[in-house]
Amino acid sequence: MTVDLEESRAPFGLFNTHALRPGRLPALARTSPWRYVVQRVLAAIPVLFGVAVLTFSLLHLVPGDPARTLLGIHAPQSAVSALRRQLGLDEPLWRQFWHYLDDLVHGNLGTSIYYDAPTSSLILSRLPVTASLVGVATLFSLVITLPLAVLAAARQNKPADHAVRFLSLLGLGMPSFWFGIILLLLFAVSLHVFPVGGWGTTVLEHLRSLVLPGLTAAIGICPVLIRSLRVGMLDLIDADFVAACRAKGLRNSYVLVGHVARNAMIPTLSLLGVNIAFLIGETVVIEQVFNLNGLGLLMLSSIDNRDFPVVQGIAVIYALGVVAINIITDLLTAWLDPRVRLG
Amino acid sequence: MQRHGPRNEAPRQPPPLSRRQFLRNGLAGAGALSVAQFAARPLVGPRSLTGRLLESAARAAITRGGTLTFGRTTGPTQFDPANSIVGGDVYTLDKIFEPLYITNPAGKLIPWLATGHTVSSDRLTWTFQLRNGVKFSDGKPVTPDDVMFSILRTAHDKTGPLSFLDTAIKDISAKGSSAVVFQLSEPWAPFLSDASCFCNSILPANFGGESPASFFAHPVGTGPFLLQSFVKGAGATLLRNPHYWQGGKPYLDKIVFSYIPSDSSRLLQLKSGEIDVMSTVAPADVASLRSDPSLAVKLFPSWALDLLFFNEKVPQFKDRNVRRAIAHAINVHALTRATTFGTAQPGRSFFPPSLQYHANVPTLQYNVRAAKASLAKSAYHKGFSTELLISTGNQTWAEAAQIIQQDLKAIKIDVSIKSLDNASYTAAFSAFNYQMMINTATNDISDPDEMASFQVDVQRGGSHSFWTDYNDPKAISLVREAEHTFSSAKRATLYREIQAIVAQDAPYVPLYYSPNIYAWSRKVHGFAVNPGGAYRLEDVWLG
């Protein structure tokens, strides 16, 4: 059952979040979702270009020779120079950058120096792990946030509310790698409920090995989401339409979840979108702790090895991912809230 | 050498098996290991009755079959012996390919695909007798052509990381159907050791008709295991080679190498039984592993050591008195105790104790008064400021650097510590862009010439004396003489003198000899690591 919100007095806070979201310009007419997506995708191209340029420059400005890393310190300088020639690393920087852009435009992410394999195949082999981790973490964060925020808002200023706020503050302060290891020690080493690390071979094993890392990642972003949803709900709890629902005789729990939370979720969803971008960064640490062979681990070791094509490739993929998530979040918000205008 | 991967997974050095360790590890543990060494001896050659009896007793107890899961810090990216240097590659391909001689866990060269060799009187012609009955995993016998192809390929590889070991080879030819003749360009004493390097492993001639890429995707070697599958830079699965030339071996059916770069994750997986063996145990974790009755941990002697190096292009360190002062001022015993949790031995000579021709030469002892006296003889008696370069990710170095900083305050040398990531750190020191640094010296082969010339021969060693620019003509001439001396006794004297000169000149200060520390579940038997860091797995069984 949907509520016709046009008839209610919408609180100030609810619109404010929309207006303040970066990149949003007021528009007179409603844009179709498809046109909106095309607009956003086109706008993303300069972003990706910027990421490519920045990553290339930073990587090449920092000292470190991938050829020397590949050959070790006992190899004579002649071998290192020969390998640099072979890899095209002795060409002038502008020419290397030109090759890189040329390849990128044609969808070619180059060949990994360290693995001697196409960068795209390396990324594709690791992408499912990171993508699943982000997906599971998002799911867990929703599952944790909703009940806790509803509880806190319903029992405002009572012990339950304080407990939720205290726990979320605790979660904010805890370093994820420490919490991850604690979870491992408890559930994996002592209780043997989940594996200590690794990815497993069957889909069931994959899911089992994602529980603890997903939980660790979710704990990192839940505090912010809980606070946002709780505040959003508290704003709406005093609204006229809620009183009307209660007067109609609907149960309080249904009103809270079905009406208040549902409406308050919208700004929290956009916050979730932004936090997923942070989550992608967190996966670098979490993959290390839980030994998941994903993009994060690959990125770390490639930076260490100065494997330029792989670092550049993953940076572009991450940027693509963040842009895609932002577009999806905006579309979702527009779909959920008819008052939101795209474009 | 960054043998163990770019993360500077430096092998750690252990003391020789002391009586207390022998008793602590348990008679059974030590016994199984020494029996394994007997079992590792090839089938021909003189063996004592006791040896043979022990071997058959050991064989009687062995259980065949099973899968060994091995957690390591790097995963294989490729299997070309001529182009590998990273631990993940080397310690996987050495289960598939084998050389003419190998180095056993005691650090000795033993005949492997060859049964023996003879050297001409002018030391230029070396003839190796090939072992009968050795076949590649595709059933084809090993011929002199295969040996020629493999070793010349490595020798002529311009980008081979260890191809410099084959510089002395002028030509290789077949002699009959079972012998190979090497013509050297000079009487090269380290040659047998060079030939035993994994980079000189034997492949089928011309890759058996395949292209190199296709061959290395499904490598065919003489080794105890075959490659079933691998994920680049991650895990690998090896299967038993049923045609292995050592009858009855390997005992294992399968080996699964898993890639676990995180130290804590690897340790937890071993403790929870998800892996059977783990490599590179952190020194801090040794005590907790020892207290676990289901696990065994061992400190294997290694040819690696960590030293403090001085850049002699910096005026202060060009002065011998300054370097000697610093050597006297650092309490190496205390530093080793504090940073390695009792797993390493304090540094003395720059040759590790497990390396051939190591000598207990007098070294500059911890003595602050002698340090001040030495500094007073230099132009820098008022002290000076300097910078100590280390690489990040190495906790032991970070602590050692702080201790050195503290120790040098006593002689008014103000040290600031600079920590760079591994690639930047390597770029810095190889461009002489440092003042002092902590680094790891290793030897890839059993002959000390590699380490001696790398660290002393500023012109020909390939590294300007490990990027110190240390130049002592007497020491250099001794190193070069030892390369052409064949008498063991004479070589021992030469290397003793070299170590003595280096100890007094102090171009670097040996800090500690770190062992290769491995831990495994007690159901694993026969596991041993040689001082180069390599472990043969055909003697391992699960029971």
Tens digit of each residue's pLDDT (9 = 90 or more) over A191-220? 888 888 788 888 899 999 999 999 999 998
Average pLDDT over every residue of A226-247: 87
In whole numbers, what is the pLDDT of chain B averaged over residues? 90
* CATH classification of the domain holding A185: 1.10.3720.10
Cβ pair B262:A70 closer than 8 A: no
Residue with tokens 């410099």: B164
Same structural domain, B506 and B522: no
- CB proximity under 8 Å: A 263-292 to B: 288-291
- The DSSP bridge partners found for residue B117 are B128
Same structural domain, B336 and B383: yes
Which is it for the CA torsion B330, B333, B337, B342, positive or negative? Answer: positive
A297: nearest CB among B158, B261, B450: B261
Cβ pair A64:B430 closer than 8 A: no
Cβ pair A197:B274 closer than 8 A: yes
Task: Give per-residue pLDDT as tens, B256-307.
Answer: 999 998 888 899 899 989 999 999 999 999 999 999 999 999 999 999 999 9
pTM for the structure as a whole: 0.85
Q: In what order do the strands lie in the sheet with B125-130?
A: B114-119, B125-130, B179-184, B169-175
Query: Within an 8 Å CB–CB cutoff, is residue A88 touching chain B?
Result: no
Cis previous bond, B250, omega within 30: yes
Cβ pair A304:B6 closer than 8 A: yes
A63: nearest CB among B164, B260, B428: B428
Residue with tokens 């300088």: A77
Task: Give per-residue pLDDT as tens, B237-248.
Answer: 999 999 999 999
**How many pairs of residues across A and B have Cβ atoms under 8 Å apart?**
135
Cβ pair B454:A74 closer than 8 A: yes
Same structural domain, B362 and B504: yes
Average pLDDT over every residue of B446-470: 96
Closest residue, chain A, to B82 (C-alpha): A71
B1: nearest CB among A64, A73, A115: A73
* CATH classification of the domain holding B366: 3.10.105.10
B423: nearest CB among A82, A195, A306: A306
B163: nearest CB among A79, A117, A188: A79
Cβ pair B426:A73 closer than 8 A: yes
Residue A236 CB-density burial (10 A; 0-12 exposed, 13-18 middle, 19+ buried) = buried
Cβ pair B450:A74 closer than 8 A: yes
Average pLDDT over every residue of B87-100: 97
Task: For residue A89, give both structure tokens.
Answer: 């690393």
Same structural domain, B342 and B439: yes
Name the pLDDT band for B60 (thresholds 50, 70, 90): low
Same structural domain, B333 and B460: yes
Expressed as residue numbers, the domain containing B237 is 2-251+516-542
Q: Nearest C-alpha of chain A: how many angstroms from B84?
A: 8
Taking the C-alpha atoms of residue A214 and residue A143, their distance in angstroms, rounded to an integer, is: 12
Expressed as residue numbers, the domain containing A250 is 120-341
Residue A317 maps to a domain: yes
Same structural domain, B464 and B331: yes
Least confident of A2-16, B136-150, B361-375: A2-16
Query: Within an 8 Å CB–CB cutoff, is residue A57 touching chain B?
Result: no
Same structural domain, B51 and B179: yes
Cβ pair A297:B427 closer than 8 A: no
H-type helices in B310-457, by residue range? 315-318, 320-329, 332-340, 368-376, 395-409, 422-430, 449-456
Cβ pair B2:A65 closer than 8 A: no
Least confident of A68-77, B53-62, B92-101, B486-495: B53-62
Same structural domain, B381 and B496: yes
Task: Give per-residue pLDDT as tens, A279-302.
Answer: 888 898 899 888 898 999 999 999
- B299 secondary structure, DSSP code: E
For chain B, the domain total comes to 2
Task: Give per-residue pLDDT as tens, B7-48.
Answer: 334 334 344 444 444 444 444 444 444 444 444 444 444 456
Residue B460 CB-density burial (10 A; 0-12 exposed, 13-18 middle, 19+ buried) = exposed
Same structural domain, B246 and B366: no
Q: Nearest C-alpha of chain A: how many angstroms from B248?
A: 31
Same structural domain, B229 and B360: no
The ipTM, to two decimals, is: 0.82
For chain A, the domain total comes to 1
Which one of A71, A74, A122 makes the best mutation probe of the B interface by having the most chain B beta carbons within 10 Å?
A74
